[in-house]
């Protein structure tokens, strides 16, 4: 009898380990999605993400499942999390742009200068990890070339044109600026989306404050402050308002 209990315990442990295997969970989620069980697929991919599987394929499939389940804001959050890891992934970008079309509220963003738009569009193509590695590599490369060019005991590097050294340092400055922009975008600035069908935006952190307007699923904003379960959110047109924290999901 003891042997039977031991065997059953080993089998149960193996099944539990299999259930927690990321590959098994991913396959389970894909199968549920293919069967049209979008809520179940979203639950599986969410479990996978919560277990530490920070992978663009997980966020992509979670976004698809959430969108098919009717959760526009939560789907946009999932896509954006995937785009942080794989900013040049065509499928993630395409689905993100497509699902944004289903956001009810169409708020025009505040205009920015052409150069700022160009810079943001360029930096959106790189992740914060890529920008940091590029900055570190260029710093050491430019430093080594500079020392070699002006080392007092030899003249081997004198043939190197000064503009080459200058270009390397200019590239380092650009990489450093890109890294700072990525940090502001991904860490310092807490962007997110309304993730409920609708929520009241009020003039202060509480239901007793005046109603400003009603925000709907998929409206984008940036959290500036948190107070007593409420977020102070700035919207793309520059307006600010308070909404309940459980109705807004940060990327």
Amino acid 3: pLDDT: 37
**What number of residues does the chain have?**
251
Is residue 190 predicted with pLDDT exceeding 80?
yes
Please say if the pLDDT value at position 34 is more than 90. yes
Angle, CA 77 vertex, CA 73 and CA 78 arms, to 5°: 115
- pLDDT tens digits for range 115-147: 777 887 888 888 888 889 999 999 999 888 888
154 pLDDT band, cuts 50/70/90, is low
Alpha-carbon Rg for the chain, nearest whole angstrom, is 25
Does 9 have pLDDT greater than 50? Answer: no
Of all residues in the chain, the percent with pLDDT exceeding 90 is 54
Over the chain, what is the mean pLDDT?
84
Each domain of the chain, given as residue ranges in start order, spans: 2-100, 114-188, 190-250
Whether residue 139 contacts residue 172, with contact meaning beta carbons closer than 8 Å, is answered with yes
Domains 2-100 and 190-250 share a fold: no
Which of 86-90, 124-128, 167-171, 174-178 has the weakest average pLDDT? 124-128
- The residue whose two tokens read 């003891």 is 2
The topology under which CATH files domain 190-250 is SH3 type barrels. (2.30.30)
Reduced to 3 states, what is the DSSP secondary structure of residue 141?
A: helix
Class of domain 2-100: mainly alpha
- pTM > 0.85: yes or no: no
The tokens of 201 are what? 């935006």
């Amino acid at each position: 009898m003891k042997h039977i209990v031991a065997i059953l315990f080993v089998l149960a442990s193996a099944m539990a380990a299999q259930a927690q295997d990321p590959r098994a969970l991913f396959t389970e989620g894909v199968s549920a999605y293919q069967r049209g069980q979008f809520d179940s697929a979203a639950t599986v991919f969410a479990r996978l993400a919560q277990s530490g599987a920070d992978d663009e394929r997980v966020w992509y499939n979670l976004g698809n499942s959430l969108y098919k389940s009717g959760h526009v804001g939560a789907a946009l959050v999932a896509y954006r999390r995937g785009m942080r890891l794989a900013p040049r992934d065509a499928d993630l970008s395409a689905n993100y742009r497509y699902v944004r079309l289903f956001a009810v509220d169409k708020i025009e963003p505040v205009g920015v200068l052409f150069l700022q738009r160009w810079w943001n569009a360029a930096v959106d193509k790189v992740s914060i990890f890529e920008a940091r590695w590029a900055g570190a590599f260029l710093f050491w490369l430019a430093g080594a070339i500079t020392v070699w060019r002006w080392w007092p005991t030899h003249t081997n590097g004198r043939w190197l044109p000064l503009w080459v050294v200058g270009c390397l340092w200019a590239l380092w400055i650009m990489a450093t600026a890109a890294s700072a922009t990525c940090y502001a975008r991904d860490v310092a600035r807490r962007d997110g989306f309304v993730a409920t069908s609708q929520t009241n935006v009020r003039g202060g952190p509480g239901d007793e404050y005046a109603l400003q307007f009603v925000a709907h699923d998929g409206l984008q904003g940036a959290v500036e402050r948190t107070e007593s379960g409420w977020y102070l959110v700035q919207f793309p047109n520059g307006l600010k308002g308070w909404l309940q924290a459980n109705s807004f999901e940060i990327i």
